């Protein structure tokens, strides 16, 4: 057993430094009222012994209660944000014994007023920390500006607004994930194949994620000089009218006979998959994002070739954990955290989903 795993208590430090436990405690917390002489003696022993506080005992003894708030979009069952929400739940139950509680607030991601309203409410409640998905840039900056003024720390999840004074950001490097999607999709494609790119209109603010993914995708095309090797074309999907999308695809297939691959940049590739199955176009290779239940099903069935995943539950969980590290445990944290770009095929999805950390 190496020395780092040795158990050392404040009591031990106190004896070795020839002072009382209270003095050691004061040094540990920079709480003042300690003579220079004692401080030095304690710090010396602290250093030599590689003291690591027992965080459990610490939060057990601490009377402070932390009220965290998370602010994410409302969602339908099985949607992307549900998995984020689950991550927050997990964190809530894991950190409950550290005197942490998490209050969840939902806003409508297509309605900026809902965002404003919810952020106003949160400010009223004067929380100890806030986690939010910064869907609306300007309104987020107003909100986080006020949080900063009140010295309430906050973290971004899913996407980021660099100008704000956030504590951490967890999310995926969307550009890079688009780049990888292109590589996976175009790598083995015969020349002159048609590549169908599904773009989805969103009401209200446009999500940064899908745009970055698209840009990453096109960057790969450019880097490898593929723009003339294949025929790329976009198809616009409507967000809320699947019949229209179906009809649109029908038109597309009437005139394009060499479509080999297709991609969507949002998480709803299962809708495309469904239409392709209906239209009997199952030879087309599909790639999409995120592990929605329906996406997984189509992956397992072989309709979707690749899914790119980003551990949304972990993003939420770690966001909470890092806030605890900051406020409670006083540990080092990293500001920007890109989660891995996980590549899932039907052959590795089962182990991936089964594996509980």
Find tokens 């602290």 and name the residue: 46
**Minimum gap (Å) between residue 42 Cβ and a copy of itself:** 21
Tokens of 34: 């300690």
Residue 327 binds a copy of itself, judged by CB under 8 A: no
Residue 176 binds a copy of itself, judged by CB under 8 A: yes
Residue 106 binds a copy of itself, judged by CB under 8 A: no
Q: Say how far residue 341 (Cα) sits from the centre of its chain.
A: 11
Residue 3 binds a copy of itself, judged by CB under 8 A: no
* Residue 235: closest CA among 198, 260, 275: 198
Tokens of 312: 């949304």
Tell me, by CB under 8 A, how many residues bind a copy of itself: 49
* Residue 231: closest CA among 277, 189, 184: 189
Q: Say how far residue 196 (Cα) sits from the centre of its chain.
A: 28
Q: How far apart are CA 262 and CA 256, in angstroms?
A: 13
351 contact, one of a copy of itself, DNA, none, CB 5-8 Å limit per kind: a copy of itself
**Minimum gap (Å) between residue 83 Cβ and DNA:** 29
Binding-site member from 23, 26, 41, 59 for a copy of itself (CB under 8 A): 59
Tokens of 311: 């551990």
> What is the three-class DSSP state of 132?
strand
Residue 250 binds DNA, judged by CB under 7 A: no
Binding-site member from 1, 30, 63, 149 for DNA (CB under 7 A): 63
Pairing between β-strand 342-344 and β-strand 306-309 as defined by DSSP bridges: antiparallel
Binding-site member from 6, 11, 120, 301 for DNA (CB under 7 A): 11
Tokens of 94: 């894991």
Q: How far apart are CA 130 and CA 71, in angstroms?
A: 8
Residues in the chain, total: 357
4 contact, one of a copy of itself, DNA, none, CB 5-8 Å limit per kind: a copy of itself
Q: Which residues bind a copy of itself (CB under 8 A)?
A: 1-2, 4-7, 52, 54-57, 59-60, 89, 92-93, 96-97, 101-103, 172-173, 176-177, 179-180, 183, 187-188, 314, 318, 334, 337-343, 345, 347-348, 351-352, 354-357
Q: Which residues bind DNA (CB under 7 A)?
A: 7, 9-11, 19-23, 25-26, 28-29, 32-38, 53-54, 57-58, 60-64
């Amino acid at each position: 057993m190496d020395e780092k795993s040795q158990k050392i208590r404040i009591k031990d430090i106190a004896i070795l430094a020839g002072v009382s436990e209270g003095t050691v405690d004061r040094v540990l917390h920079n709480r003042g009222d300690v003579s220079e002489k004692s401080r030095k003696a304690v710090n010396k022993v602290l250093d030599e012994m590689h003291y690591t506080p027992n965080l459990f005992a610490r939060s057990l003894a601490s009377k402070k209660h932390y009220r965290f708030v998370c602010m994410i979009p409302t969602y339908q069952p099985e949607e992307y944000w549900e998995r984020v929400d689950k991550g927050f739940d997990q964190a809530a139950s894991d950190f409950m014994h550290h005197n942490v509680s998490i209050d969840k607030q939902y806003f409508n991601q297509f309605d900026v007023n809902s965002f404003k309203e919810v952020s106003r409410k949160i400010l009223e409640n004067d929380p100890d920390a806030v986690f939010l998905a910064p869907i609306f840039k300007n309104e987020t900056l107003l909100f986080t500006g006020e949080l900063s003024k009140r010295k309430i720390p906050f973290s971004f999840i899913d996407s980021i607004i660099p100008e704000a004074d956030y504590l951490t950001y967890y999310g995926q490097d969307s550009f890079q994930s688009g780049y990888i999607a292109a590589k996976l999709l175009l790598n083995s494609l015969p020349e002159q194949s048609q590549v169908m790119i599904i773009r989805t209109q969103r009401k209200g603010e446009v999500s940064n994620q899908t745009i970055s993914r698209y840009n990453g995708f096109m960057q790969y095309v450019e880097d490898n000089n593929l723009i003339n090797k294949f025929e790329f074309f976009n198809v616009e999907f409507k967000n809320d009218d699947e019949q229209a999308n179906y009809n649109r695809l029908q038109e597309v297939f009437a005139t394009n006979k060499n479509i080999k691959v297709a991609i969507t940049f949002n998480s709803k590739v299962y809708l495309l998959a469904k239409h392709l199955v209906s239209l009997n176009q199952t030879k087309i290779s599909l790639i999409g994002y995120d592990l929605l239940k329906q996406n997984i099903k189509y992956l397992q069935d072989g309709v979707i070739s690749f899914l790119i995943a980003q551990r949304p539950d972990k993003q939420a969980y770690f966001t909470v954990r890092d806030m605890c590290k900051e406020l409670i445990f006083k540990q080092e944290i990293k500001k920007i955290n890109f989660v891995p770009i996980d590549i899932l095929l039907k052959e590795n999805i089962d182990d991936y989903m089964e594996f509980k950390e």
